[in-house]
Structure 1
Amino acid sequence: MERAEIMNVFGQFDPEMAILSQKEEERQRSTINIIASENFASPLATFLEGGIWANKNSEGYPGKRYVAGCELADAVENLAIKRLKELFQCEHANVQAMSATVGNVAIMNAVLKPGDTILSMELSHGGHLSHGASFHYSGKTFKAVHYGVNRETEQIDMDEVRKLALEHSPKMIICGTSSYPRLIDYAGFAEIAKAVGALFFVDLAHNVGLVAAGVIPSPVPYADIVSSSTHKTFRGPRGGGIILCKKELAGKIDRALFPGLQGAAKLDMIAARAVLFKECMTDEFKRYGKQVLDNAVALAGGCMAEGLRLVAGGTDTHLAVVDVTNLIPSGKQAEEVLASVGIICNKNGIPFDSQPLTLASGIRIGSPFMTTRGMKAKEMFHVGVLVGQALRNYNDSLLLNNIRKEVTDMAAKYPLFADEWLPRHS
C-alpha cells in the first residue's frame, strides 16, 4: 500500500485514533511551544522509524548477533556508530539504549557497585532524577550526595563541588542538568574528579544538539562517559539514547546495557538515528544551533523587559528559568494562564524555592521547537513580551483573549518544520 492509501484505511479502521492524531497536529500548529525539552523532529530523522528495519530482530551487537540474517543490520548499526563517533570525536559509542535514562542506569550498573557514593546536582537546583533522586532507581541503589548552585549567583558552586568531593570521595561525579541555563565548567569538574579518583560522567541530554552544532563547548575531551537522549536540541525523534565513553570502559558499559538491562535493540530507531547523526554534520544544522541560542536569549530578554526575573541572570543555552512570583503567585498558575492563551511551557522550581514543586515559583522556557518552525530572534523577543503581559494581567480576560488571538495568528505563519533547516546536499 502507498502511504495515502494506508492513511485512508487507518482513518476508516480506527477513527478515534485518527481524530486524536489530527487534533494533536492542529494543537501543535496553532500554539507557540516554548517547552525547553520539546522539539519537532526532523522529517529526515523520522523517515525510517516504523519502516522496513522495524521488522528485524537484531539481538546482540554487530558481528555477535543471536539470530541470523543480520548482515545488513550490522551495517546499519556500524554506520550509526561511525557517524556518532565522528560527530563527537569520541573513542567508543553505543546506540542501543531505548532511552537516555535507561542508558544512565546501564552506565551506573557497569562501573559502580550498589552502595557506592555518587556526587550529582540537586534535582531542585536543576539536576535530573536519574542522577540519584531518592525516589529513582539510582538513588535507591547508590548513595547520592548532591551539590547545588550558589545562592547569590544561582550558578553551580564549584567550591561546594570540590568540598563535597573531598569529603565524600565519590566513585562517580555526575554533571548533567534539566533546567540549568548557564554553561558548565567541564574542565573544572574533570579536575575535581581526577583529584579524588572518581569517574566523570556527563549527561548531555539537554545541550547535546548545541554541542553537535559546535555552538557551545563539548564535554567529550574531559569526561570518561557521556550520555544523551536524541530529541530536545538534537531534533530527533523521542526515545533512544546514546552512550559515548573511553575505550577502556566500552566492554563493561556495552554488557551492562545488553544483556544486562535490555533485550534486542530497536533497529529502526538505530537506522533513524544514523540519519540524524549525518544531518547534524550539515551546515544547516550548525546554523540551526546558532539560531537556537540567539532565540533563547531573545525570548529571555522579552520576559525580562516585562519585569520577570531570570534565574542565574540569563541564559547561555537553549533554555531559561523564569521566577514568576513578582507577577503571579506560582509557576503552576503561570503555566495554566499561558496555556490558556496558546503559549505552552512548564512550571519549574527555582533554586531555594519556598513553594512545593507541585506549585513551584518559576517556569522553564526554551527556543528549540519554535526555532525549528522558523521563528527568529525578533519574534521570539515578542513571545517573551507576551509571556510577561499575560502573567501580569492574568485576571484580565479581555486582554488574555486578545493575546490568544495574536498567538494563534503568529503560530499560523510557520510550518511545523521550516524548509531552511533541511539539508540541500549530502
Structure 2
Amino acid sequence: YRIDVNRTLELIDQHRPQLIIFGKSMVLHPEPVREIADYIANWKDRPLVMYDMAHVLGLVGPHFQDPFQEGADLVTGSTHKTFFGPQRGIVASNMAEGSFYHSLWEKIESEAFPGAVSNHHLGTLLGLLGATYEMLGFKDDYQQQVIANARAFARALHVNKVSVQGDASLGFTQTHQVIVRAGRAKGPEVAHRLELNNVVANYQALPMDNSFSDASGIRLGVQEMTRFGMKEDDFERLAVLMSDIIIRDADRADEVASLRREFLEMGYCFSGSRAESTIGTLQDAFLRG
C-alpha cells in the first residue's frame, strides 16, 4: 500500500514519462510526491506531476500532506468525501505565470468550461462555498480527529482478530481509510453481511486480486461519523461489533443501531450566531457582485 520509491525512480529513468500521476482508491499513507518531484526537478523536459486527491482532499495540510508544497504541479479532487461538501470536483494548479507548465494551465482553464464540462451546476456551488467556509474554520481539529479515529479503529479491529491492511508500524493508516481483508473473493459477501447489520461499507479489490469481481477486501472510512461526534473509544466499540459480524457471522444489527443513535448532531459546522454571520457575509458578497 506504499510506493516503492527506488523502483519508481528506476521506472521513471527507463520510460521518461511526460506525466506522473499519484492517486488510488485505497489511500492509507502519504504519497512520495517530494521524493519524485525532487528527482526530476532539474530535467530539461521534466514530467508534469499530478496528484489525484479524490479521497483525501479534506486532509490536505500538515496532518497528512500538502502536495503543492512538496512539488506537485496539478491537484484534482472530489469535494464530497473527506472534504465535506456536495458532489463536485476541482482542478487546481501550482503553475504561476512564467513557470514551466503555465501554458498548459491556460489551456486547462480555457477548455474546462465550456468544453469538457457542459454545465457548472450553480445549484450545488453555494453548498460548496458553505462547506469551504466550514472546512477553513474547523479543518485543524477535524483532520486530526479523523486520522486519530481511523488509527484507533484499525488498531481495535486488529486486536479483535480482523485482518487489517496497511503498515502496522504506522498504525495501519494515516488517512481516514481502514482496509480489511475479508478473505479470498469474500468482499461482496462480507459487505452484504455488514449492511444487514447496519454498517454500510463497500467491497474492494486488493492489490493481489485478479479483478473487482474477485474482491477480497472491505474499504471503510471514518470521516462521516467523525463529523457526527464519534471519538477513538467509540470506534473501538464499533470495531468489537464489526469483528463479531465479520469473523463469527453474529447478528449485531440492534447494537450497531443503538451505537448510531448516540451520535445525531453534526459537528465541525457553523451553527447559531456564527452561522448567521457567515450567511450574512455571503449575502453581502453576492449583492456586491
Corresponding position of 1:155: 2
Corresponding position of 2:189: 333
User: Is residue 2:72 matched to residue 1:220?
Assistant: no
Corresponding position of 2:182: 324
Letter in 2 for 1:273: L
Q: CA deviation at 1:329?
A: 6.0
CA distance in 1 between counterparts of 2:253 and 2:87 reads: 29
Q: Of residues 241, 248, 262 in structure 2, which corresponds to 1:413?
A: 262
Q: CA deviation at 1:193?
A: 4.0
User: Is residue 2:115 matched to residue 1:257?
Assistant: no
What does 1:56-71 align with in structure 2 at a 5 Å threshold?
A: none
Q: CA deviation at 1:264?
A: 4.2
CA distance in 1 between counterparts of 2:195 and 2:114 reads: 43
Corresponding position of 1:378: 233
Q: Of residues 16, 30, 49 in structure 2, which corresponds to 1:183?
A: 30
The percent identity for this pair of structures is: 26
Corresponding position of 1:308: 162
Corresponding position of 2:221: 366
Q: CA deviation at 1:302?
A: 1.8
Q: CA deviation at 1:404?
A: 0.8
Q: Of residues 202, 206, 215 in structure 2, which corresponds to 1:350?
A: 206
**Partners of 2:27 and 2:55 within 8 A in 1:** no
Q: Scaled by the length of structure 2, what TM-score is found?
A: 0.83
Letter in 2 for 1:347: Y
CA shift in 2, pair 1:240/1:199, >3 Å:
closer
What does 1:58-137 align with in structure 2 at a 5 Å threshold?
A: none
Deviations 1:279-319 (A, max 9, x none): 2211x332111111111111111210121222223001110
**Partners of 1:350 and 1:361 within 8 A in 2:** yes
Q: Residue 51 of structure 2: SS of its match in structure 1?
A: strand
**Partners of 2:185 and 2:213 within 8 A in 1:** no
Q: Residue 180 of structure 1: SS of its match in structure 2?
A: coil
Corresponding position of 2:59: 210
**Partners of 2:59 and 2:83 within 8 A in 1:** yes
Q: Residue 227 of structure 1: SS of its match in structure 2?
A: strand
**Partners of 1:293 and 1:316 within 8 A in 2:** yes
Deviations 1:96-149 (A, max 9, x none): xxxxxxxxxxxxxxxxxxxxxxxxxxxxxxxxxxxxxxxxxxxxxxxxxxxxxx
**Partners of 1:343 and 1:407 within 8 A in 2:** yes
CA distance in 1 between counterparts of 2:132 and 2:211 reads: 39
Letter in 1 for 2:8: V
Letter in 2 for 1:182: H
Deviations 1:19-42 (A, max 9, x none): xxxxxxxxxxxxxxxxxxxxxxxx
Corresponding position of 2:281: none
Q: Scaled by the length of structure 1, what TM-score is found?
A: 0.58
Deviations 1:235-281 (A, max 9, x none): 01123434334132431111221233123422333333222222221
Q: CA deviation at 1:233?
A: 0.6
CA distance in 2 between counterparts of 1:233 and 1:375 reads: 15
CA distance in 2 between counterparts of 1:359 and 1:290 reads: 34
Q: CA deviation at 1:391?
A: 1.2
**Partners of 1:321 and 1:362 within 8 A in 2:** yes
User: Is residue 2:89 matched to residue 1:231?
Assistant: no
Letter in 2 for 1:408: A
CA shift in 2, pair 1:259/1:323, >3 Å:
same
CA distance in 2 between counterparts of 1:216 and 1:352 reads: 26
Corresponding position of 2:12: 165
Corresponding position of 1:289: 143
CA distance in 2 between counterparts of 1:257 and 1:329 reads: 40
**Partners of 2:134 and 2:269 within 8 A in 1:** no
Q: CA deviation at 1:220?
A: 1.1
CA distance in 1 between counterparts of 2:229 and 2:17 reads: 44
Corresponding position of 1:299: 153
Letter in 1 for 2:27: Y
Corresponding position of 2:246: 391
Corresponding position of 1:280: 135
Runs of 4+, deviation exceeding 6 Å: none
Letter in 2 for 1:215: H
Q: Residue 220 of structure 2: SS of its match in structure 1?
A: strand
Letter in 1 for 2:7: E
Structure 2 residue runs without a partner (length 5+): 97-101, 279-289
Q: Which has the larger radius of gyration?
A: 1
Structure 1 residue runs without a partner (length 5+): 1-153
Letter in 2 for 1:219: P
Aligned-residue CA RMSD (Å): 2.1
Q: Residue 260 of structure 1: SS of its match in structure 2?
A: helix
